[in-house]
Structure 1
Amino acid sequence: MSLPEPEVVSLGCRLNIAESETIRTLVAHRDTVVVNSCAVTNEAVKQTRAAIRRARRDRPGAQIVVTGCAATIDPASFAAMPEVTRVVANDVKLRPESWGGTAAAPTVFAGHARAFVEVQNGCDHSCTFCIIPQGRGASRSIPAGAVVDRIAMLVDAGHREVVLTGVDLTSYGPDLPGAPTLGMLVERILRHVPTLRRLRLSSLDSVEIDPRLFEIVTGEPRVMPHLHLSLQAGNDLILKRMKRRHSRAQSVALVERLKSSRPDIAIGADLIAGFPTEDDAMFADTLALIADCDIVYGHIFPYSPRTGTPAARMPQVAPEVRRDRAARLRAAAATRKAAWLANAVGTVQDVLIERPGDRGHTAHFAEVRLPSPSEPGSIRRVAITGATDTHLIGTAE
């Protein structure tokens, strides 16, 4: 009797998604559930624990293995959960021997239309709110040759879109010979994998966007017109207390330059509501940033105090105020997104079709719903006939 197929539950960032696909090959043909955890907020840790309990209920005979940032930062608490078989730390989770094997097989993203490729891991910065460096360690980069080979293999396997991922993507390169930049890596990918249709970048630190990367993002049609920026706040004093390395004016100026060079580019941003010491005026600066930076994809977090971080020792904003401010940020971003989507009605967009075939995303990452299915993984020309507050409606040509 064959064993049930393994399951990998991936929480959190796109880097976790990329790593989860490698883990899936390493635990093949085993009655195992791997929970690849996230620790970016207290809520993410709660979701990890809920996923572990759900996995035990659904697969009572399976091994439950927990890895990822939450499990690496606090391994003892996860090992103590009665549902957990064992904990695997981040720094060894991609090693075959951690899963009882000897070699990793090349993987494709069978369940995803787009493929996620890790090019960088870890972080050398010390933002006062962030605990992730404790789970990921120092910044380190994947050599460009290995990245190009990986992407070429994925394209040969049928993937038409690749997303570059990392903990601090724009810090790519200084630890490698010749100190290449992220812009140089992207240029090399495009040159050596000419059959790659779409290249997308995950979250970028705006202050680290090098001139070559800016030129490619604004001038290369195979790089998607969609950037997600790690802005976090719109008030300079709060940014200073976060130990961010940019000012509000720099954020606004960057978006103005991007849109001047590529007017259709869609901007997403991480924003934190209710950071310690934030008063109403400081919050108003962040709220106004949604309009000032034309943010149509708001990734909004109410501040979550993480034990062991400097911000957790600062004067805290009341939880109900944090929640209210987060809701106001989400509402402002949702209003802006709805207006942006409405402006797309009547256009024709290239859409990457995703499973089960009745939905997909444009180059700008707007979701499109289709009345009849198309082949998952294909790129179709779609006439946009309508829009809701959250997605577009279209018909494939």
Structure 2
Amino acid sequence: MSVEVLSFGCRLNAYESGAMRELAVGAGHAGTVLVNTCAVTAEAEKQAAQAIRRLARERPGVSVVVTGCAAQIAPARWSALPGVARVIGNADKLKPEAWALDAAPAPVSDIMAARGVAAYPVADFANRARALIEVQQGCNHRCTFCVIPYGRGPSRSAPVGAVVAQVRAALEAGCQEVVLTGVDIASYGPDLPGAPTLGQMARRLLALVPELPRLRLSSIDPAAIDDDLWRLLGNEPRLMPHLHLSLQHGHDLLLKRMKRRHSRADALAVAARARRLRPGIALGADLIAGFPTEGEAEFAATLDLVGEAGLQFLHVFPYSARPGTPAARMPQLPMAVRRERAARLRAAGAERAQQFYAARMGEEEAVLLEHPDRGHTEHFCPVRLAAPAGARGQVLRARVTGADARGLLAEAA
């Protein structure tokens, strides 16, 4: 029996789930279910807890190991769930010794004392077209809505050499694109010798691995995009024309209450600069609807930002109060209001995405195939081909023939 993984939350969790599965299999685990939790929202925690209870009902006796941010923050709660054999903290989950079959259960260690990034290359890149590469961990900021620093600890960075080694391993396994991921990738570098920035690291990576066809960034804080990264965006075609910005809101007062480091004007300036340096770039954003004290006028500012900043791909959260955060102590909006506003934001995003798709009509796109008949363009538009046209991992030229709510329709060029 193999090691089964149930992964919740972000891309970093997805990367780490793959690494932990490798470690568990290598240590001789069989029939174990690994549940990698997320603490960003109450819904994410609920889904993970429901999955564990379902395992206990449907597969009594199965060994469940729980880890991730929610488990790090409240280990006693997760260890008390039925069927849970062990909880492993975020600071230890990528250490091979934590997965030894004879490893004794140990208390979850203090994540705030964590230093460095586990240099564990995920060798299990087989059957993947795109590889997630962890370059950074943790966060030094304290946004009032966010509990993740207490699950991930302080910001820390992977040395450039370790990043290069992982990228080369991904290419050798057949991946054609890598995504640099972390909790706050724009904070990369100050803890390393010479304090390289994210842009400097990316520039060195592209120089040291000239055979890398496509480099992409995960969500990035608009307040901390460095000059080298801007230069790469303008001059390096291997850096994909796609930025996903951690904006969260469009009203200055709410941004201050969130303790964000940018203003509405800053967000618009970043979007304009990106478009100037890379005409046609696709812009995505993380946005929160229904933050405490948000009135209709403040929400309208976020809704208007979608069009003003030219955002195409939105990741929308209805605000979720996280225990222990300052925002949880602010006056809360009814959940129905939060959900209704989130739905309006998603509708605005869907409309913008359709406009972006329509502008690609008749264009020839470089599509990275994740399956023989579908993949993603350089702008990260999902594409479905009229017929299977290649193998997973192939970069195929395809002409756009149509679009629907699920993305672009195309045929091999």
SS in 1 for 2:293: coil
Q: Distance in 1 between matches of 2:377 and 2:33?
A: 33
Q: 2:147 aligns with which of 115, 131, 141?
A: 131
Q: Distance in 2 between matches of 1:49 and 1:112?
A: 29
Q: How many residues align?
A: 393
**In the TM superposition, what is the alpha-carbon distance from 1:58 to its structure 2 partner?**
5.5
**In the TM superposition, what is the alpha-carbon distance from 1:84 to its structure 2 partner?**
1.5
Q: Distance in 2 between matches of 1:219 and 1:396?
A: 28
Q: Distance in 1 between matches of 2:21 and 2:325?
A: 33
**In the TM superposition, what is the alpha-carbon distance from 1:239 to its structure 2 partner?**
0.2
Query: 2:359 matched to 1:362?
Result: no
**In the TM superposition, what is the alpha-carbon distance from 1:111 to its structure 2 partner?**
4.8
TM-score norm. by structure 1 comes to 0.96
Give CA deviations for 1:165-193 in whole Å, capped at 9, x if unaligned.
Answer: 00000000001111100000000110000
Give CA deviations for 1:209-251 in whole Å, capped at 9, x if unaligned.
Answer: 0011011022211011010000000000000000000000010
Give CA deviations for 1:105-158 in whole Å, capped at 9, x if unaligned.
Answer: 851323532001100000000000000001000000011111111111211221
SS in 2 for 1:112: coil
**In the TM superposition, what is the alpha-carbon distance from 1:56 to its structure 2 partner?**
4.0
**In the TM superposition, what is the alpha-carbon distance from 1:43 to its structure 2 partner?**
0.7
**In the TM superposition, what is the alpha-carbon distance from 1:57 to its structure 2 partner?**
4.9
Quote the residue 1:94 is aligned against: 94
Quote the residue 1:141 is aligned against: 157
- Superposed, 1:66-81 pairs within 5 Å as 66-81=66-81
**In the TM superposition, what is the alpha-carbon distance from 1:74 to its structure 2 partner?**
1.1
Quote the residue 2:107 is aligned against: none
Quote the residue 1:392 is aligned against: 408
- Superposed, 1:136-285 pairs within 5 Å as 136-285=152-301
**In the TM superposition, what is the alpha-carbon distance from 1:17 to its structure 2 partner?**
1.2
Counterpart contact for 1:337–1:390, Cα < 8 Å: no
Give CA deviations for 1:266-307 in whole Å, capped at 9, x if unaligned.
Answer: 000000001111111111100101001111111000100011
Residues 62, 113 of structure 1: alpha-carbon distance in 2 compared, 3 angstrom cutoff: farther
**In the TM superposition, what is the alpha-carbon distance from 1:342 to its structure 2 partner?**
1.6
Q: Distance in 2 between matches of 1:183 and 1:339?
A: 31
Q: More deviation in 296-305 or 110-119?
A: 110-119
SS in 2 for 1:85: strand
Query: 2:26 matched to 1:10?
Result: no
TM-score norm. by structure 2 comes to 0.92
Counterpart contact for 1:270–1:300, Cα < 8 Å: yes
Q: Distance in 2 between matches of 1:350 and 1:260?
A: 22
**In the TM superposition, what is the alpha-carbon distance from 1:97 to its structure 2 partner?**
1.1
Stretches of structure 1 that go unaligned for 5 or more consecutive residues are none
**In the TM superposition, what is the alpha-carbon distance from 1:18 to its structure 2 partner?**
1.1
- Superposed, 1:85-124 pairs within 5 Å as 85-100=85-100, 107-124=123-140
Q: Distance in 2 between matches of 1:233 and 1:100?
A: 44
Counterpart contact for 1:10–1:20, Cα < 8 Å: yes
Stretches of structure 2 that go unaligned for 5 or more consecutive residues are 104-118
Give CA deviations for 1:287-337 in whole Å, capped at 9, x if unaligned.
Answer: 101001111111000100011000000111121111111111011111111
Q: Aligned residues: percent identity?
A: 56
Residues 343, 58 of structure 1: alpha-carbon distance in 2 compared, 3 angstrom cutoff: farther
